[in-house]
Chain A
């Protein structure tokens, strides 16, 4: 089979699998969030934490819950890293430096999983298992909870309540993430992913050199790394490492896992607002953007100019031979389209325009399909803005899902929309103005600029993948990227919850023949158009001086 043919099959089989999963997964999530029954183990947890699972919260209380839980998570993870040399299973590794510990704590609590450390040399097994892996579950669940709260805002009317954060959090972990993680980890182990508490082995190569082969609880973290769109690898090489991602089919499974929740949540949304077509429309918007991006990145990797690609026929540099160029390109597109950030190839080595595509994927705001939960609320906010601009053109005050979009809703949506670009642009500009920060670039010229732009884009959008080629383990980058990740995660969440509260309080407007139909192809096209134009307008100047200058 030709390279391109194998790549096409990889993409097509993923698309079919996701389409098949759309209904059952979406429906299952719908039942999880609408069920009135609590599991016994859940009741125990609620009693321990001291919350009433049958009481609901206003958007402000919900937001306080999100922030409080996450603040505690950051502190706990920071403490665990700083104290790891005093705790068990540290494998003799020293405490993590303060700026790096801060960066890592912020990174894992925000579902970003930006790693300025190298897993196999910096973190002991306890930090990996009790710190990082736990946050891989928790941060994904927080994202889904906030998305569900926003959907409740659309679905409910004349109420101040948007759900119970603690119930949403616990149910997501126990009913969705954990079961899949347990089964999935076993599947990965069967494929050769390692899972042990050993520190690793020392081996002698044929050439006689001594080599340390690190082991550890890899499969248990690998599974949630993808399923929760986290992306933080056990090893520095992430999914390019054979112990994390041994074969072609585990590669397929990883891509599928990192897409499946985000692509199925629209179904849950459609069910909850009582109109499945609305959910399908959102899923199609995501799919159009995603397919476009996957095809573009593949095309650039297979056909773009450059010395190496022209000699070999494709941009093989930085890819694993066992995956091949197209499968790596698809993985790269998927990981940047969701807020995962796991990598199975080195994005720094991509062609200029291929790399621009990956950067642009993140710049979309992680909405196609985006991270677990964050993708859904991101695209719903963009849908709100689209309805507002274009909806006026049907001669009515814009309505989305029978809710009027007035000043208050637009205020929250605009703030959401402003936050990430502000963080990316200000962060990049600040780094580029500092000699010390510029010194971290390993490349000169536009490629060096792309590395910095990619770093702040990845952090602000909570992606976590790195372009590499940038020494980010400096006090400047650790501190600023940590702050950017936290702001890029929680400021939008507060705005989303504000929007949810404002929508939930409204009285629904009955739909009529004069209402904009938000499930028709025209609407799908409009959202896609607005998203692309908005992103192009915001980032084109910066992209022009980075990847575009290099690639054109």
Chain B
């Protein structure tokens, strides 16, 4: 299959198993910088999209009106803190968006207005080209432009003629230039990137205003962010909870009026009068009960999740894809570049029929000196490192290049009176050469060759023929696919999360099995053709599984589109980038594993903060209910287990806690909760303990501490 033939960017060392997904810490200045945005978001025409906070805003307006009508310290303090609650919620979203905005600014710089050199009536190989200058935004789908060294590529497209080195740092941040050439899988170019040398002809594949950079800007800014399925479901639940609490608070009024009427001797308080619970206290109770914490942070969590991907140079084209990444059951990974380093390397020389090891090494190195393929270079290097053989200058040599017909390469060395022919290549081809040149082949060679194949390596047989002697086989080179460091640990971690990894390779089943065993993947698909990949995805999905894969070639496009999470490499073709729902700007296929972790972390953060938010309510009841009714039913003072100073201070403390907890949790919402891969039960137990039990206890402590301060507020 074609996709495995490409070598990955050399600059990607196998990252040292990042078991924890993290993002940058929150800079306090970010909060202050985002304040204007947060205030702008108070506009009810936009805030209504967040029903929980919209209710808080209505409550804030209501309490402000009441405070103006009957100004007391208590009323005004409550009103101010209710407004702060809404502002804090907006702040969370603004900060999350602010990070994306900075990223978008950088991208906008790349989107300079360039003048394109459009070619009219271009045909392949045409001698005379009719060229005109048009502004880049005027380019249409299908236009053909020419770009030369030093010029900016005016739009996304595919190279249809020529080869050039391109600086893509504007979008990837990677300064090393990349090669783009017509045909094959490295033909896609992105508008805004710069051609460094040579000349290419590009066919534009974007519509005006829909370039890759345009889409990236929209994405990181969250311009048309849509709620993900899981977010929608959570919103429904939060709305239901809000309605229940609205009912619980609203229906309290007639009960309170009755209670007050039954005990006429009890004095009226700031909380309870003969007309029932005062408006300010009712609103306070409502705001404390409805799930404001998660309501305030929900969209920030989503934006921050996308942002965490962007920081890793992955662009998710939809939030849905990020969420799906957390649910993935099966990872399809191309062997080359993902699991193995990408180049086969010589790891062992095995001599046969009593040949000296050194002789074999020498012959192997000589035959490879002119071989510029990575495999050939690795033979030279192995001989040097293992046997101390230096590269030498050869006086007279006739290099025999590799061809698909001969399936071997080699050299004819001409010394005075002697011609030494050395050949290295596929065992069948070389052994045939030996027989054709008077030699005979022993069983020993066949045994070694089979052994190498069985262990997952590629055997190359080395043979020589000296003048006047029959040809003979010297030994076998073991070319191995070297598995990247740390892959086994990563796959083990995935397995604990219930994710099955499947290696896709064009190798024969024998080799594939050996490499799969060494890397620790669960399964492999050998001799895979692009349509096999598609079939495998469909089969997995048929069983209800979600599949993630990476790909770059045009023939990967259908599979990328079919997969639930399709990560296209930025080096790939535009077809692949169109088909996938994520693009990895670094073109590092191993990143799929990180993407899955980020998706999981996003879901965990949502669940943890929802649990925390609901658990918080218990303490607030213990603060507010006795405060409201202790005047009529003194026995309810037993519920005041925090021993709060006064009813007014108790209610105020609960409201203040409710507002402050939002700000306190913004960093957590942006960063995501700590995530270490483990079994579902272990993760659940930990998160339940921290966010469930912690969520019950934290507000008891917090409200008490706030009360210790608030009680000294004059006039309360």
A residues neighboring B (CB under 8 Å): 385, 388-397, 402, 405-407, 409-411, 414-415, 417-418, 421-422, 425-426, 428-430, 432-433, 438, 444-446, 449, 507-510, 512-517, 520, 522, 526, 529, 533, 536-542, 544-546, 548-552
- Once A389-B614, A542-B248, A545-B259 are accepted as A-B contacts, the answer to whether A396 and B327 lie under 8 Å apart by CB is yes
8 more A-B residue pairs beyond the given contacts A410-B236, A513-B679, A540-B625, with a C-beta to C-beta distance below 8 A: A392-B234, A392-B610, A397-B229, A402-B544, A421-B244, A421-B247, A536-B618, A541-B625
B471 smallest CB distance to A (angstroms): 56
Please state if B262 and A395 are interface contacts (CB–CB under 8 Å).
no
Q: Is the CB of A513 within 8 A of B323?
A: no
**Given A389-B237, A515-B498, A426–B251 Cβ distance below 8 Å?**
yes
Q: How far is the CA of A105 from the CA of B13 in the complex (A)?
A: 76
Partner of B255, one of A432, A444, A533: A432
Interface hub of B239, B500, B692 (most chain A Cβ within 10 A) = B692
Q: List 30 A-B contacts (CB under 8 A).
A: A389-B614, A392-B603, A392-B604, A392-B607, A393-B687, A395-B604, A395-B683, A396-B326, A396-B603, A409-B233, A417-B244, A429-B251, A429-B252, A432-B257, A445-B262, A446-B633, A449-B259, A509-B544, A510-B329, A515-B498, A529-B692, A533-B615, A537-B245, A537-B617, A537-B621, A541-B249, A542-B248, A545-B252, A548-B639, A549-B259
Which residues does chain B contribute within 8 Å of A421, judged by CB atoms?
Answer: 244, 247-248
Choose from B250, B600, B687 the contact partner of A429 (Cβ within 8 Å): B250
Say how far B233's CB is from chain A's closest CB, in angstroms.
Answer: 4
B604 adjacent to A393 (CB under 8 Å) = yes
Q: A414 touching B621 by the CB < 8 A rule? A: no
- Smallest Cβ-Cβ distance to B256: which chain A residue: A545
Inter-chain contact A507/B681, CB cutoff 8 Å: no
Least CB separation from B499: chain A residue: A514
B240 contacts chain A at the CB level, 8 A cutoff: yes
B262 and A393 contacting across the interface, CB-CB below 8 Å: no
Q: How far is the CB of A492 from chain B (nearest CB, A)?
A: 13
In this complex, what residue of A is CB-closest to B543?
A: A510
CB pair A552 B639 closer than 8 Å: yes
> In the bound complex, do residue B629 and residue A545 qualify as a contact, i.e. CB atoms below 8 Å apart?
yes
Decide if B688 is an interface residue (CB 8 Å cutoff).
yes
Across-interface contacts of A445 in B (CB, < 8 A): 262-263
Tell me, yes or no, whether B675 is within 8 Å of chain A by CB: yes
**Distance A86 CA – B381 CA, assembled complex (angstroms):** 110
Is B447 engaged at the interface, CB distance under 8 Å to the other chain?
A: no
Asked if B470 lies at the interface with its beta carbon under 8 angstroms from chain A, I say no
Residue in B495, B618, B629 whose CB lies within 8 Å of A549: B629
In the complex, the answer to whether B683 meets A393 with C-beta atoms within 8 Å is yes
**Of A405, A425, A513, which contacts B498 at CB under 8 A?**
A513
Assuming the contacts A433-B254, A522-B681, A541-B625, asked whether A406 and B230 have C-beta atoms less than 8 A apart, the reply is yes
Asked if B247 contacts A394 (CB within 8 A), the reply is: no
Interface centre among B248, B497, B683, by most chain A C-beta atoms within 10 angstroms, is B248
Task: Choose from B249, B259, B607, B621 the contact partner of A393 (Cβ within 8 Å).
Answer: B607
Task: State the CA gap A422–B684 with chains docked (Å).
Answer: 32
- Cβ–Cβ contact B604 & A425, under 8 A: no
Nearest CB of B to A263, in Å: 27
Asked whether B490 is an interface residue with its Cβ less than 8 Å from the other chain, the reply is no
Which chain B positions have C-beta within 8 A of A422? 243-244, 247
Nearest A residue to B673 via CB reads A393
Is the interface on chain B under 10, 10 to 19, 20 to 34, or 35 or more residues? 35 or more
| Contact, CB under 8 Å: B253 / A393 | no
> Which of B248, B545, B608, B685 sits near A541, CB closer than 8 Å?
B248
CB-based contact A390/B688 at 8 Å: yes
Inter-chain contact B610/A389, CB cutoff 8 Å: yes
B498 contacts A388, C-beta separation under 8 Å: no
Q: Identify which of A393, A410, A507, A537 contacts B544 (C-beta below 8 A).
A: A507
Q: Are the CB atoms of A395 and B601 closer together than 8 Å?
A: yes
* Interface contact A449-B545, CB-CB below 8 Å: no
What secondary structure prevails in chain A residues at the interface with B?
Answer: helix
Judged by a CB distance under 8 angstroms, whether B691 is at the interface is: yes
Q: Which of B254, B326, B611, B614 sits near A395, CB closer than 8 Å?
A: B326
A510 touches B248 (CB 8 A): no
Q: Is B636 an interface residue (CB 8 A)?
A: yes
- Complex Cα distance A545/B229, Å? 41
B289 at the interface (CB under 8 A from A): yes
Q: Give the docked Cα–Cα distance between A392 and B609 (Å).
A: 10
* Partner of A394 from B545, B604, B633 at Cβ < 8 Å: B604
Name the residue of chain B whose CB is nearest to the CB of A421.
Answer: B244
Known: A394-B684, A509-B544. A541 touches B252 (CB 8 A): yes
Contact with A along B670-707 (1 / 0, CB 8 A): 00000100011101110110011000000000000000
**C-alpha spacing A313/B252, complex, angstroms:** 36
> Which residue in chain A gives the minimum CB-CB distance to B250?
A429
Nearest 10 A-B pairs (CB), nearest first?
A392-B607, A512-B498, A514-B498, A395-B600, A414-B240, A429-B251, A513-B498, A552-B635, A549-B633, A425-B251
Given contacts A508-B544, A522-B681, A536-B621, contact A414 B239 (CB under 8 A): yes
A411-B247 in contact (CB<8A): no
Residues of A contacting B249 in the complex (Cβ-Cβ under 8 angstroms): 541
Give the docked Cα–Cα distance between A544 and B499 (Å): 49
- A285 to chain B minimum Cβ distance, whole angstroms, is 16
Closest residue on chain B to residue A395 by CB atoms: B600
Chain B, 558-604, CB within 8 A of any chain A CB: 599-601, 603-604
Q: Judging by beta carbons under 8 Å apart, are A425 and B611 in contact?
A: no
Shortest distance between the CB of A34 and any CB in chain B (Å): 23
Give the most central of B230, B251, B329, B496: most A CB within 10 Å.
B251
Please state if B600 and A544 are interface contacts (CB–CB under 8 Å).
no
A384 to chain B, nearest CB (A): 10
Flag whether B638 is at the interface (Cβ < 8 A).
Answer: yes
Q: A394-B604, A428-B251, A444-B262 are in contact. Are A537 and B618 (CB under 8 A)?
A: yes
Q: Is A513 in contact with B259, judged by CB distance below 8 angstroms? A: no
Option from A391, A417, A432 in Cβ contact (under 8 Å) with B607:
A391
Residue of B606, B610, B636, B675 near A544 (CB, 8 A) is B636
Query: Do A512 and B629 touch across chains, with their CB atoms under 8 A apart?
Result: no
Closest chain B CB from A228 CB (angstroms): 30
Q: How far is the CB of A429 from chain B (nearest CB, A)?
A: 4
Residue on B nearest A438 in the bound complex, by CB: B258
Is B232 on the interface with A (CB-CB < 8 A)?
Answer: yes
Distance (Å) between the CB of A158 and the closest chain B CB? 10
With a CB–CB cut-off of 8 A, which chain B residues contact A394? 604, 680, 683-684
Which residue of chain A lies nearest to B496 when distances are taken between CB atoms in the complex? A513
Are the CB atoms of A552 and B636 closer together than 8 Å? yes
B323, B607, B614: the one contacting A533 at CB < 8 Å is B614
In the bound complex, CA of A411 to CA of B234 (Å): 10
Q: How far is the CA of A449 from the CA of B262 in the complex (A)?
A: 11
- The answer to whether A537 touches B289 (Cβ under 8 A) is yes
A396 proximity list for chain B (CB < 8 A): 326-327, 600, 603, 680
Shortest Cβ distance from B501 into chain A, in angstroms?
12
Nearest CB in chain A to that of B602: its residue = A395
Q: Report A544 CB to chain B, min CB distance, Å.
A: 5
| Alpha-carbon gap, A432 to B632, bound state (A) | 17
When the two chains form the complex, which single residue of B233, B263, B495 contacts A407, counting CB atoms closer than 8 Å?
A: B233
- Give Cα A30–Cα B680 distance, bound, in whole angstroms: 31
Decide: A544 and B625 in contact? CB cutoff 8 A. yes
The closest CB in chain B to the CB of A453 belongs to B255
| Chain A residue with Cβ nearest B626 | A544
- Min Cβ gap B109→A in Å is 37
Residues of chain B within 8 A (CB-CB) of A425 are 247-248, 251
With contacts A428-B251, A537-B289 known, is A390 near B604, CB below 8 A? no
Please state if A397 and B244 are interface contacts (CB–CB under 8 Å): no
| Nearest CB of chain B from residue A484's CB, rounded to whole Å | 14
User: Are the C-beta atoms of A510 and B545 separated by less than 8 Å?
Assistant: yes
| A415 in contact with B617 given A406-B229, A520-B681 (CB within 8 Å) | no
A-side contacts of B601, CB under 8 Å: 395
Interface hub of B230, B329, B614, B683 (most chain A Cβ within 10 A): B230
- How many angstroms from the CA of A378 to the CA of B600 in the assembled complex? 30
A388 adjacent to B233 (CB under 8 Å): yes
A542 and B252 contact, Cβ closer than 8 Å, known pairs A389-B237, A510-B329: yes
